[in-house]
Copies of this chain bind each other. A is one copy, B any other.
Amino acid sequence: MATAYHGKILRVDLSEGRLWTEEVPEVLYRRYLGGGALACHYLLKELPPSLDPLGPENRLIFMTSVITGLMISGANRYTAAAKSPLTGGYGEAEAGGWWGPELKAAGFDGIIISGCAPKPVYLLIADGKAELRDASRYWGELSGEVQDGLETELGDKRIRVLQTGVAGEKLVRFAAIVNQLKHFHGRSGLGAVMGSKRLKAIVVRGRHKYEPANKDGAKVIFNWFKEHYDRENDTMHKLGTSRGVLLLDKAGILPTRNFQQGSFELAKEVSGQKMAETILTKTGTCYACSVACKREVDVPELGVTSKYGGPEYETIAANGALCGVGDLKKIAKVNQLLSQYVLDSISTGATIAFAMECFEHGLLTKEDMGGIELRFGNADAVETLVQMIGRREGIGDLLAEGVRRAAAKIGKGAERFAHHVKGQELPMHEPRGKKGLAIAYAVSPTGADHMEAPHDPLYEGFHHSGNPLGGPLGLIEPIDMLDFGPRKVKAFFQCQKVWSLYNSVGMCDFVGVPIGSLTLDKLVEYVNHATGWDTSLYELLKVGERANTMMRLFNLREGFGRADDMLPPRMFEPIGNGVLEGERIDPEQFQKMLSLYYQMCGWDPETGVPTEAKLADLDLE
């Protein structure tokens, strides 16, 4: 069974139109597994500090992992990474779907893109071969047209298309990248990096299914998952991520009206339950996944089709509750626009909500807005603004810069309505009610990012697992969501390694979480079956820790420091309504717990700089 796992990277220099391949030695896979950790390894090695993220020298990396493409639920995710134009620090975003497995089936484990094409191109990768092709005709087109156009041009409906949108072409700082119109690399503004390189799309087609080192072992796990996964009772399958709307509203932690409130009076109207009763047509899924959490919706009267899937929790919350909008059909329409322009739905909704609060306080006027009455609850305004941002038209040009830069330009104290960490807008989870998130958001290497920041209910997931003392992380005793002491920091510290691992090994949180600890054990087996190795959960969590520390090093090199590990001012103010009305983060306790977290990581407790010992422990030079 012992075998060697080697990776093949496709290198693309767009400036010179040159393509070549490179081997990734097994030792790098053992150390990084793939995904974010391996991508960060290349970014640290190849990017000099202080470089313009939208210049040709930035690298745009797509990286699968040793398990991507296994016939196993959750093993379809892969990473896009680059220096972020939104934060100026390390940027990454994971996506699911079929594109990652297809890239591997086409003979490549990753792609590293440098330079900038003289005119728009797309990259075609098919069965071990790669070429650049003219994409002028797709430049300026909405995503659906690009997808259709490429399928027609190539005469193949089975290609997998990854693309940046009009928003990316226009260098919107929170432009996303999407594959097959539905699977997003949402955060970090990577669509703008792709746009800046004039790389419209990457089309992959592969006919060589990835063969694990131990095929029988992999099959056993596949069957084990099928047997153990209780699909009928998993609300993630039944309601998708939007199951969260009502749960969080009830708990007083549904971000509402730009985080002024924690409960939304129209939550029921925009809930997953409501979606299931009204506009839902189908459940969607990713490669080989039984969880099938994706939604597909139709709203014929608004021109919304299931081609673009359907809104997820983050989209509903950011463009619904956060903007005071309680109309699910209109949110579905906004969701389609976000997909068409290929925008990060969190940052877009958060930026609009920010503008709404500015407007209500007179910091932005109707004139600034080109006549739009930008009050909370104005669904049509949201719809209009998404398109203006996507095209950088009018006020959209300012908002396309994200809340940090927009607030700085608006001035007049607009910063207090700009909820971001390191320039990236807060996701739809409330640190004031899930206190672990206060540290999680503050220290996430990509800025506020729920994909880098496991939050409190997840600790419970790793605590509970059938056994009263359960959980393979040693989180023996349960811990309250409002607790904000050393035990909470410890719980976050442990779970963060898992999250960071998932982003490197390409495992989906939604598969990892519902089955909890069993999946962590099985994940070790996945990796061993894929590679023929003899790894352990201990070694895998080291990879997660290593990746997190590498990203820290990247940011330190860019000049980030303790002051950047900060929450927006609103987090220190009380929640305005709901069952947690009055709850806030204590600023002194925050600083104390931040120091404790640094120290727990093996970083200097004052500066957050990794110690020599931690670098040695993690084999980092």
Interface residues of A (CB under 8 A from B): 2, 4, 26-27, 30-31, 465-474, 476-477, 486-487, 489-490, 493, 517-518, 520-521, 532-539, 541-543, 596-600, 602, 605, 611-614, 616-617, 619
Residues of chain B contacted by A613 (CB below 8 angstroms): 486, 489, 596-600, 605
CB distance A4 to B468 under 8 Å? yes
**CB-CB nearest 5 A-B residue pairs:** A599-B613, A472-B536, A486-B616, A600-B613, A474-B539
Query: Are A489 and B616 neighbours in the complex by a CB distance under 8 Å?
Result: yes
Report the Cα distance A27→B26, complex, angstroms.
40
Report the bound CA distance from A546 to B99 in whole Å.
43
In Å, the complex CA distance between A472 and B534 comes to 6
Asked whether A477 lies within 8 Å of B539 as measured between CB atoms, the reply is: no
When distances are taken between beta carbons in the complex, the residues of chain B under 8 Å from A468 are 2, 4, 26
Interface of A is mostly: helix
Q: How far is the CB of A164 from chain B (nearest CB, A)?
A: 36
Known: A518-B534, A538-B537, A617-B490. A476 touches B31 (CB 8 A): yes
Measured between alpha carbons, how far is A330 from B27 in the docked complex, in Å?
51
Asked if residues B534 and A474 are in contact (CB atoms below 8 Å), the reply is no
Please name 17 pairs of A and B residues whose Cβ atoms are closer than 8 Å in the assembled complex, sorted by A.
A26-B468, A27-B477, A30-B469, A30-B474, A470-B533, A472-B535, A472-B539, A486-B612, A487-B616, A493-B617, A536-B536, A538-B538, A596-B612, A599-B613, A600-B602, A600-B613, A605-B611
| Contact yes or no, A599 B611, CB < 8 A | yes
Specify which chain B residues have a CB less than 8 angstroms from the CB of A597 in the assembled complex.
613
- Find out whether the CB atom of B538 lies under 8 angstroms from the CB atom of A473: yes
Query: CA–CA, A31 to B537, complex, Å?
Result: 18
Q: Of all chain B residues, which has the CB nearest A31? A: B476
Partner of A2, one of B2, B27, B466, B541: B466
Interchain CB contact under 8 A, B520 and A2 = no
Q: Are B534 and A537 in contact (CB under 8 A)?
A: no
Considering only CB atoms, which chain B residue lies closest to A521 in the complex? B536
Tell me which of B476, B517, B614 contacts A30 (CB under 8 A): B476
Query: A532 near B2 (CB under 8 angstroms)?
Result: no
- The answer for the CA separation of A467 and B26 in the assembled complex, in Å, is 11
Of A472, A477, A599, most B-chain CB atoms within 10 Å: A472
A600 contacts B619, C-beta separation under 8 Å: no
Evaluate contact between A534 and B466: CB separation under 8 angstroms. yes
Q: Which of A466, A517, A534, A600 has the most CB of B within 10 A?
A: A534
Q: Please give, as numbers and ranges, the residues of chain B lying within 8 Å of A617 by CB-CB distance.
A: 490, 493, 600
**A37 → chain B closest CB, angstroms:** 13
- Are B26's CB and A469's CB within 8 A? yes
A267, chain B: closest CB distance, angstroms: 35
Decide if B602 touches A599 in the complex (CB within 8 Å): yes
CB distance from A215 to the nearest CB of B (A): 18
CB–CB A534/B471 < 8 A: yes
Docked complex Cα distance between A100 and B493 (Å):
37
Closest to A535 in B: B472
Residue of B nearest to A596 (CB): B613
Alpha-carbon distance A466/B486, docked complex (angstroms): 41
What residues of B have a CB within 8 angstroms of the CB of A487 in the complex? 616, 619
CA–CA, A598 and B521, complex, Å: 31
- In the bound complex, how far is the Cα of B596 from the Cα of A598, in angstroms? 17
Give chain B nearest CB distance to A589 CB in angstroms.
14
**Cβ contact of A612, chosen from B467, B469, B532, B599, cutoff 8 A:** B599
The complex places the Cα of A465 from the Cα of B533 at a distance, in Å, of 9
By beta carbon, the residue of chain B nearest A611 is B599
Tell whether, in the assembled complex, residue A27 and residue B476 are in contact, meaning their CB atoms are under 8 Å apart.
yes
Minimum CB–CB distance from A461 to chain B (whole Å) comes to 13
Chain B proximity of A287: nearest CB distance (Å): 27
Measured between beta carbons, the chain B residues less than 8 angstroms from A534 are 465-467, 470-472, 517-518, 521
A472 / chain B contacts, CB cutoff of 8 Å: 534-536, 538-539
Cβ B602 vs Cβ A616 within 8 A? no
Given contacts A4-B468, A617-B490, contact A520 B536 (CB under 8 A): yes
**Which B residues are in CB contact (< 8 Å) with A4?**
468
| Contact across chains for A539 and B466 when beta carbons are under 8 A apart | no
**Which residues of B are found within 8 Å of A543, using beta-carbon distances?**
474
Chain B residues contacting A471 (CB-CB under 8 Å) are 534, 539
- A472-B538, A476-B619, A493-B617 are known contacts; what are 17 more A-B pairs with Cβ within 8 Å? A26-B468, A27-B476, A30-B474, A30-B476, A465-B534, A467-B532, A469-B533, A473-B536, A473-B538, A474-B543, A486-B616, A490-B616, A517-B534, A520-B536, A596-B613, A599-B611, A600-B602
* Chain B residues with CB below 8 A from A539, complex form: 471-474
* Cα distance A493–B613 in the bound complex, in angstroms: 11
Interchain nearest-CB distance for A531 vs B (Å): 9
A493-B489 Cα distance, complex, nearest whole Å: 24
User: Across the interface, which residues of B come within 8 angstroms of A465, CB to CB?
Assistant: 534
Q: Compute how far the CA of A602 lies from the CA of B468 in the bound complex, rounded to whole angstroms.
A: 30
* Contact of A490 with B533 in the complex, beta carbons under 8 Å: no
CA distance A466 to B471 in the complex (A): 30
Given the complex of chains A and B, what is the CA–CA distance between A542 and B473 in angstroms? 9
Which residue of A2, A469, A619 has the most chain B CB atoms within 10 A of its CB atom?
Answer: A469
